[in-house]
Amino acid sequence: MGGKNLSYHEQKNIDYTLQLRELLGTLPPYAKDYFRAVEGRTSPRTRISYAYDFLVFFHFLLENNPSLCGKQVWEITLNDLDQLKSDDIEEYQEYLKYYQTETAKQKNSTGSIARKLSSLRSFFNYFYKKQLLKNNAVMQVDMPKKYDKAIIHLEPDEVAILLDGMESYGSQLTGQKKAYYEKTKVRDLAIVTLLLGTGIRVSECVGLDLNDLNFREGSMRIIRKGGDEAVLYFGREVEDALLDYIDGPRKLIAAQALAGHENALFYSVQKKRISVHAVENLVEKYAQVFVPNKKITPHKLRSTFGTSLYKETGDIYLVADALGHSDVDTTRKHYAALEENRRRKAASAIKLREV
């Protein structure tokens, strides 16, 4: 089966599956039972994240639990896990705030710590329900409280400043930087306009193929985070930016594209499908120049779309659907401040007596 016949998402799933198999070779043998059980309800990418989380936990045990001294990760038994107390898990929670690996220092936010503990809870729950663990120490520890952060997004005037700035940035550059800008300008504008105009995730953006676009309907087919297919619609500004790129730079690059990348919508200068990291870099590069007072990432462009859509429609269900949130409560939590403002306006709009 040649990579040329595979879609971006199919190839990524194969890559994740092979990566997970490699990681399972470093985990205790019983971990395979857990991953087989959750395969039907998790994406390959999620399972990779779980595997790395478990490795962090097992390394913590080896470093801090005297009874495991001299063991390797794959030698840790279910009986060893059965001996753990809530104190051990609380120490692990503290450890996650800051720890050193073989290659780097790691620092986790409260949200990241909560995610790692959540995956560990799922792991322990599986074996506890199978009656392979008598004691579930993770369930005895409260999850860390997550505090909602204000949504960072671009205001309408900042969106205009960013896009206008990207169009004229060449006047500020010279030499190789100017040459690189001219080569990537139309592509970069198409990407940023698409992210702002549809709210898709950066992974969904880089996974787009040319034949995913339907200009007659003004729509595109994307593969969501969990692997589901969705059709989204885009407006005239997005359409114009995409056509400028497709009829211009992309047409030239596609004729020389590397094998397996012929169908990609967005190309790197190396003539292959652009990567998530490259899109993150280009968004941050332009944002630092034109909206330096805010740390803007592709996810913040997604928040900008969600905020604008909610302000225009007041329909939290529409926003949840457009952003691909499986649970509208997730959307409501993120946009709670906007909902509060609408409630205040609703209260003041009602007049019981004429003054």
User: Tens digits of per-residue pLDDT, 299-321?
Assistant: 999 999 999 998 888 888 899 99
List Cβ neighbours of 253 (8 Å cut-off, separation of 6 or more).
267, 271
User: What would the mean pLDDT of 205-230 be, rounded to a whole number?
Assistant: 93
What rounded mean pLDDT belongs to the chain? 91
Least Cα distance to 307 among 294, 298, 319, 295 occurs for 319
pLDDT the model gives residue 263: 93
User: What would the mean pLDDT of 157-161 be, rounded to a whole number?
Assistant: 97
Residue 100 has pLDDT above 80, yes or no: no
Residue 52 has pLDDT above 80, yes or no: yes
pLDDT band of residue 325 (cuts 50, 70, 90) is confident
What beta strand segments (E) does 86-218 contain?
98-100, 105-107, 213-214
Least Cα distance to 189 among 208, 175, 169 occurs for 169
pLDDT the model gives residue 170: 95
Tokens standing for 33? 């039972």
Q: Render pLDDT for 243-296 as a digit per residue (tens, 0 to 9).
A: 999 999 999 999 899 998 999 999 999 999 999 999 999 999 999 999 999 999
pLDDT the model gives residue 156: 94
pLDDT the model gives residue 240: 98
Residue 335 has pLDDT above 80, yes or no: no
Give Cα 105 to chain centroid, integer Å: 22
pLDDT the model gives residue 352: 62
Residue 15 has pLDDT above 70, yes or no: yes
Q: Who wins on pLDDT, 344 or 134?
A: 134
Q: Render pLDDT for 170-188 as a digit per residue (tens, 0 to 9).
A: 999 999 999 999 999 999 9
- For residue 232, which phi and psi values (nearest 5 degrees)? -115, 160
Torsion of CA 2, 5, 9, 12, to 10 degrees: 10
pLDDT the model gives residue 4: 52
Which range is least confidently modeled, 89-93, 140-144, 209-213, 277-281? Answer: 140-144
Is the CB of residue 269 less than 8 Å from the CB of residue 183?
yes
User: What would the mean pLDDT of 111-125 be, rounded to a whole number?
Assistant: 95
CB atoms within 10 A of CB 172: 11
pLDDT the model gives residue 328: 86
How far is the C-alpha of 185 from the C-alpha of 71, rounded, in Å?
Answer: 54
Residue identified by tokens 């009829």 is: 247
pLDDT band of residue 349 (cuts 50, 70, 90) is low
pLDDT the model gives residue 3: 44
User: What would the mean pLDDT of 314-338 be, rounded to a whole number?
Assistant: 83
Percent of the chain with pLDDT over 70: 92
Domains and CATH numbers, the chain: 3-140 (no CATH), 156-347 (1.10.443.10)
pLDDT the model gives residue 209: 96
Residue 194 has pLDDT above 80, yes or no: yes
What is the residue-wise DSSP string for 182-233?
A: HHHHHHHHHHHHHHHHH---HHHHHT-BGGGEETTTTEEEEE-TTS-EEEEE
pLDDT the model gives residue 333: 74
As a three-state string, the secondary structure of 267-283 is: ECCCCCECCHHHHHHHH
